[in-house]
């Protein structure tokens, strides 16, 4: 095991030899949802490694459900994608829990995502504390169309495929962010989250095949 880890650690896993398993092209509409595109922020440009690209759109439907979809494509460094659990606290969010979340896509594929419940509290006036909650789903997509719900799992798969398959992934990460209505602390509606989760499941089922290449379509190009 130690010998294998030693070989893996010394293996060049730069992302120069593989095509990405995603398309940075999100649909303008999806069923009842209409979108508006958002650019990478100046703060994100500072935090993300050189060569990282993203596509992001905010979708809203006729009943006011808002879902932000982001697809981030890694650059040419070995580990240019960061864990959301690291970035979110810097934005004032607290991660209350995380768990695997299986989804069956509209094209028949079954993938597992990571679902995080996050919140942050504010006090707009003395004695009134308001909690803002949201659900964030994310997963990693490899060059061959493989998916991982966990950051460290995608790193281990990078080493494994580099050594045993001569495949060096250019990973992407997809993120689906669903905000919940602000509510007074201690008076949160549990049904609000349940409804958001089901809306997100259906939304992911439809949108993921639009930017995720299938294993047949994913192309690895050697140099």
Q: Per residue, what are the HEC states of 137-203?
A: EEEEECCCCCEECCHHHHHHHHHHHHHHCCCCCCCEEEEEEEECCCEECCCCCHHHHHHHHHHHHHH
Tens-digit pLDDT string for the chain (223 aa):
455 445 455 554 444 558 899 999 999 999 999 999 998 887 777 777 778 899 999 999 999 999 999 999 988 766 668 788 877 877 888 999 999 999 999 999 999 999 999 998 888 788 888 888 999 999 999 999 999 999 999 999 988 998 998 888 999 999 999 999 888 877 778 789 999 999 999 999 999 999 999 766 654 444 4
**Distance of alpha carbon 147 from alpha carbon 149, whole angstroms:** 7
Euclidean distance between CA atoms 86 and 84, whole angstroms: 5
Residue-level pLDDT at 221: 44
Q: Can you give the pLDDT at residue 136?
A: 96
Q: What is the pLDDT of residue 157?
A: 92
pLDDT of residue 190: 79
Sign of torsion over alpha carbons 37, 210, 110, 196: positive
- Record the tokens describing residue 51, joined without a space: 């060569």
């Amino acid at each position: 095991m130690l010998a294998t880890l030693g070989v893996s650690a010394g293996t060049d896993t730069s992302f120069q030899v593989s095509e990405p398993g995603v398309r940075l092209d999100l649909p303008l509409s999806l069923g009842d949802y209409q979108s508006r595109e958002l650019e990478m922020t100046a703060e994100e440009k500072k935090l993300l490694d050189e060569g990282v690209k993203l596509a992001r759109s905010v979708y809203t439907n006729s009943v006011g459900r808002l879902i932000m979809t982001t697809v981030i494509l890694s650059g040419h460094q070995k580990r240019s994608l960061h864990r959301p659990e690291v970035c979110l606290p810097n934005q004032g969010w607290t991660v209350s829990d995380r768990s695997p979340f299986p989804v069956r896509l509209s094209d028949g594929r079954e993938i597992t995502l990571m679902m995080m419940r996050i919140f942050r509290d504010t006090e707009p006036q003395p004695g009134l504390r308001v909690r803002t909650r949201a659900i964030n789903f994310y997963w990693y997509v490899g060059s061959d169309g493989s998916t991982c719900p966990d950051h460290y799992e995608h790193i281990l798969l990078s080493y494994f495929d580099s050594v045993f398959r001569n495949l060096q992934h250019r990973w992407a990460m997809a993120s689906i962010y669903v905000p919940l209505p602000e509510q007074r602390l201690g008076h949160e509606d549990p049904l609000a989250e349940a409804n958001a989760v089901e809306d997100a499941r259906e939304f992911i089922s439809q949108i993921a095949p639009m930017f995720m290449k299938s294993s047949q379509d994913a192309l690895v190009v050697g140099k």
